Structure 1
C-alpha cells in the first residue's frame, strides 16, 4: 500500500532573483521539485533561464523566466507584475539572491562612484524594494517566506578591506532582515538570511554528492561547498513547518571565515 503525500510547497509561487545561474539556479530547481511554481529572474543569461524553465516544465512543474536588474529602481515593480501575470498568483516566496560583486580588490577611495552605487542598489535597496512590494500580498494570505543572501560572518558587521561598499550593503541587509522579521511575524511571514561560503564557479551548480570526494585545504570542513548546500537551507526556511524560524542569519560556509582567509 502506498501513501501519496502532497509536496510541501504545492500551490506556492516563488520569485528567485538571479535564478538562471549559480546558487539561484540550484535554489529555483529545488523549490520547483518541492511543488513550487518558480519565476526565474535573470539580467543577461536568457538562454540559461529559458533552459531551466523548460527543464522544470518537462518535470511537470510550473515556471517562467522574467528579465530585469533588481538594482534598477524601476525594475522591481515591473518584475513583480510580470511574475503575477505569468504564473497567475501572488508571490509567496521571495529569494533575494541577485546582487553584484566585484572580485577585483581595491580600496574604497579608489572605487568609481558608479560602482559604489551599483553595490548599494543591487545588494540592499533592490531587495528592500522587492520585499516592500510582495509583503501586502503575503499579509493578505497570512503566509510568506523572504530569504536574503549575505556573505560569511556578515552578522558580525566586521570590516572587509577592498570590499567596502559590498560589505556595507550586506551588513545593512542583516539589520533590515532582523527588523523585518519582527515586524512581519504576526502576519505569518518569516524573514531570514543565508550566508554562503566561498563557493566559486561551477561548484555553485553542483550537488553535494559531486563534491564529497574533493579536497579544499582552506575549508575547515575539508571539502568545498556546493550549490546544493545553500539551496537545502533555503528550502528548509521556506517549508510551511519552519514558521517559527525567523530573523536568523545562517552560515553555510563549512566553517570558513571569508574575510580572514582572503586578507593580504
Structure 2
C-alpha cells in the first residue's frame, strides 16, 4: 500500500527537500505551509508531475491547536490516514539574546512552535497510526540535544528542542508495541540556499568549519528522514541522530569570534 507522509513547513528549506525524497520513494505527500500559498501550490504540482504521486498543500500554523485540528481533519478526509509525520516546522530567532532579554512573546513563539506543535499534531494523527499498526514520527533537534547542553544566547530554542528530544524518546517507548517509531534528526549548520540543494552540489565546495570539508545540504538531512520513514528502519526508535559533518554547531560562533580576533 502507498504510504502517506505529512511534512510541516514542507514547501521551503529542508522540508522541501524532504518532501522530494519521500515522493521519490513513492509516498503521497502533504505539504503544510504557513504563508505563500502560490509558492506551495506550485511546488506540489511539480511534485505530482515529477514523481507521479498524489500531493496536497494545506495552510496552517502548527503552533495553534485550531489550525492543527483543521489540518488533521483535511488530511484524514482526503487520504484516510497519515503513515509518516515529519515535524519539520519550527521557528528560530537568528538574533542572539540572553534568556533575560527574550520578550514574553518571543519565548512563547519558540516553545509553542518547536514542542507544543508536535504534541498537537501527533496527538491528532497518532490514533490512525495505531489503528493501522504502522507509523513513523520524525522530529528535528540540534547536535547533542539529548545531553541537555547549554547553548549560549539560544535558551528558548534549546529548551524547546531539549524537551522535544525527551518527548520523542517517550513516544518511542510508549508506541513501540503499536508499530509506531519515533526518532529525532539533528541537522548541522545548514544555511541559506544549501537547505534546498543536493549533495552533488556541495562536492568540492570548501567549508573550513566543517570537519568533513564541505557544506551540509538539505539532501543530507532528507536522506536520513527518508530512511527513518521506510519499512527498513523498523528496529530504530528513540534515536537522536546527528547529521552535522562532525561540526560543533553550538560552539561555531565562538570559533568564528576567535578567528576574527586572530585576523
TM range (shorter): over 0.9
What is the aligned partner in structure 2 of residue 3 from structure 1?
Answer: none
Q: Partner of 2:251: helix, strand, or coil?
A: helix
**Aligned runs of 1:60-71 on 2, under 5 Å?**
60-71=52-63
What residue ranges of structure 2 are gaps of 5+ in the alignment? Answer: 258-263
Q: TM-score, normalised by structure 2?
A: 0.94
Give the secondary-structure state (helix, strand or coil) at the position aligned to 2:65: coil
What CA distance in whole angstroms lies between the structure 2 residues aligned with 1:150 and 1:49?
Answer: 24
Counterparts of 1:126 and 1:62, CA distance in 2: 25
| Alpha-carbon distance between aligned partners in 2 of 1:152 and 1:46, rounded to the nearest angstrom | 32
Equivalent residue, structure 1, for 2:41: 50
1:172 equivalent to 2:184? Answer no
1:48 positional shift: 2.5
* Offset, 1:94: 0.2
The CA distance in 2 between the partners of 1:233 and 1:89, in whole Å, is: 26
Q: Deviations over 1:167-206 (max 9, x none)?
A: 0000000111111101000000000000000000100000
What secondary structure, in the 3-state scheme, does the structure 1 residue paired with 2:108 have?
helix
* Aligned residues of 1:13 and 1:89 also touching (Cα < 8 A): no
From 92, 95, 98, give the equivalent of 2:86: 95
Shift of 1:47: 2.6
Please report how far the alpha carbon of residue 153 of structure 1 lies from its aligned counterpart in structure 2 after TM superposition.
1.7
Corresponding residue number in structure 2 for 1:160: 151
Check the 8 A contact 1:15/1:40 in 2, yes or no: yes
- Report the equivalent of 1:85: 77
Q: Is 2:108 the partner of 1:117? A: yes
- Within 2, Cα distance between the matches of 1:233 and 1:12? 17
Q: Which runs of 5+ in 1 are unaligned?
A: 1-9
Measured after TM superposition, the shift of residue 73 of structure 1 is 2.4
- SS of structure 1 residue aligned to 2:44: helix
- Determine the C-alpha separation between the residues in 1 that align with 2:167 and 2:253: 26
Q: Secondary structure at the match of 1:259?
A: coil
Name the CA distance, whole Å, in 2 between partners of 1:31 and 1:48: 19
TM-score norm. by structure 1 comes to 0.94
Please give the alpha-carbon distance, in whole angstroms, between the structure 1 residues aligned to 2:38 and 2:21.
20
Q: Aligned partners of 1:253, 1:89: CA distance in 2, in Å?
A: 36
Quote the offset at 1:89 in angstroms. 2.2
Alpha-carbon contact 1:174-1:193 (below 8 Å) kept: yes
